[in-house]
Structure 1
Amino acid sequence: MSTTTKRLGTEEERRAAILDAAWRLIAERGIHAVRVADIAKVCQTSAANVYNYFPDKNDVLTAALRHCVARSFDRQDAELRRIDNGYERMLKLIDMVVPRIGERRDEWSIWLQYWTEVSLHPEYRPVHNEFYERWRDTVVRIMRRGQRQGVFRDDVDATRVSMQLTAMIDGLGVQVLTGVRGMTATTMRDLLVDYVDRELLP
């Protein structure tokens, strides 16, 4: 990782560099194995400087999780806006959420760890649920776009489809990351596309 706080001028840029280093370390090592000193080392700064932005370790780690999720959603939105057809948007969304090697798999690692923290610490639930509503809303909007365009059935409820599809994505993604026999990223994509084609197309 080459990002350094020394080279970044503004407070906002320095804070973002710390968060970027933190979430990548969490994805690689696990949330409870990452120390503030590790984050500082990646950023080529001191632990004291990290504490200037985040009062304690939990603050920086929680902020890093949120940073990663928000960053993922922003990239997702930018990609989807380039596609007009609802069906093609849905396929693009599926392609973007399959946990293949690289950054997407790292982001899935963050999600898995975030789910664990939320289940143990109810105070994290409001932020998690806000992100999850945004996730489901993305599917709802794509579904309704496709219905307006006539590429999706108009007799299915977009909200129900969103609940079903996001649940499938989450469950299949967990199986891919945990190495369940027979479940690969390619198989996950095929199953999701099969659901869309079978249940949503006229």
Structure 2
Amino acid sequence: MPKIVDPEARRRAVAEAVFRVSARDGLEHASLRSIAREAGLAIGSVRHYFRDHAELMIFAMDELARRVGERIRMHAERLLSPDPGIDRRAAAQELLEEFLPLDAARHEQATLVLAFTTAARTRPELRSRVAEWDENSRAVITRVLREAHRMGSLPNDTDIPLESLRLTALIDGLTLQAVLRPDHMSPATMRRVLRRHLDTLKNA
């Protein structure tokens, strides 16, 4: 009896192979052939699920965004819950920390995001996805600051768009340093810098 294959599960398995090859060897080495080998498939099987390399890369980017989004949504639901017993300052920091490479899984994801972002400079088919990542991240950060402002945790005259840009730049900078120099930018340091920045917003 022929083996029944779930097409979506197989596509995600191939995306996993993209992640492993890219994290280990760099995105420039994530060819269809190397990805097929990593996934334990014939290259023809990969082509059965993806028309070409560009379609596979776009799917992998969407899968990466989906995983990060699931974690962020969990924290957002807690932050926006009407439960009066929730420590919203702590909830906001925990949500923002999801953007930082604070453990092995998030470090690998940050490495992949940086790789795709860099590749998009010379690969037009990736640019719209990178722009969407940036817009979605900024929207989440803006939502966090607006909620803090609504709850009275920020001064009345806080410039939310400007502070969103500033906080986004801080998170991007910490992430870049942690990916390029993990021995220099530890999780504890990133948490401390983020906490200090949030304190300056509150006391402005």
TM-score calculated relative to the size of structure 1: 0.85
Contact 2:19–2:112 under 8 Å retained in 1: yes
Unaligned runs of 5+ in 1: 1-5
**Equivalent residue in structure 2 for 1:78, among 57, 70, 74:** 74
What is the letter of the counterpart of residue 38 of structure 1?
S
Matches within 5 A, 1:44-123: 44-83=40-79, 84=81, 85-123=87-125
- By how many angstroms is 1:190 displaced? 0.9
- By how many angstroms is 1:169 displaced? 0.8
What is the letter of the counterpart of residue 51 of structure 1?
R
Unaligned runs of 5+ in 2: 82-86
- By how many angstroms is 1:90 displaced? 2.2
Please tell me whether residue 35 in structure 1 is matched to residue 31 in structure 2: yes
What is the letter of the counterpart of residue 155 of structure 1?
D
The farther-off stretch of 103-112 and 31-40 is 31-40
Moved over 6 A (4+): none
**Equivalent residue in structure 2 for 1:187, among 156, 176, 189:** 189
Contact 2:103–2:187 under 8 Å retained in 1: no
Q: Residue 200 of structure 1: SS of its match in structure 2? A: helix
The farther-off stretch of 173-182 and 137-146 is 173-182
TM-score calculated relative to the size of structure 2: 0.84
Identity in percent: 25
The farther-off stretch of 30-39 and 127-136 is 30-39
User: 2-side partners of 1:95 and 1:127: how far apart?
Assistant: 22
**Equivalent residue in structure 1 for 2:10, among 7, 14, 18:** 14
User: 2-side partners of 1:7 and 1:29: how far apart?
Assistant: 32
Aligned residue-pair number:
197
User: 2-side partners of 1:52 and 1:68: how far apart?
Assistant: 21
User: 2-side partners of 1:154 and 1:89: how far apart?
Assistant: 21
- By how many angstroms is 1:7 displaced? 8.0
Q: CA RMSD in A?
A: 2.4
